[in-house]
Amino acid sequence: QVQLVESGGGSVQAGGSLRLSCAAYGYTYAGRCMGWFRQAPGKEREGVAFIYVGSGSTYYADSVKGRFTISQDNAKDQVYLQMNSLKSEDTAMYYCAARYDNNCNRWGDSPSFAYWGQGTQVTVSS
């Protein structure tokens, strides 16, 4: 049974930084796409940043390019999201998600992800 456990959310002022972590447990083979979605109250869930575990290929939403960086630590089976220059519009619940796959194509398609973390709140005050 695959489990994803997130940590690192919190409250920060605009312009600040936060780092989210997602620890993965129970994978039976390595090929998978992992990343982060977010959902603000009254808005649809949107893909933020993704990484193909192994190759390290990364994918970002336009709204976070240049500010957020996704990375992996294969030894610890963890994925990280470094968020810099945070804006009030980044306020949302952030969810780690993963799926077994050969690539991260269609990374913004949330129904294609079979495994989800419990979510961690990020609040940015202006």
Per-residue model confidence as pLDDT tens digits over 51-97: 998 789 999 999 999 999 999 987 878 999 999 999 999 999 999 99
> For residue 46, what are the β-bridge partners?
38
Residues 6+ apart with CB under 8 A from 105: none
Query: Tokens 């968020």 label which residue?
Result: 83
Residue 46: half-sphere exposure toward Cβ, Cα within 13 Å: 15
Stated length of the chain = 126
Tell me the three state secondary structure of residue 112: helix
Within a 10 A sphere around the Cβ of 60, how many other Cβ atoms? 18
**Mind listing the pLDDT tens digit for each residue in 2-26?**
899 999 999 999 999 999 999 999 8
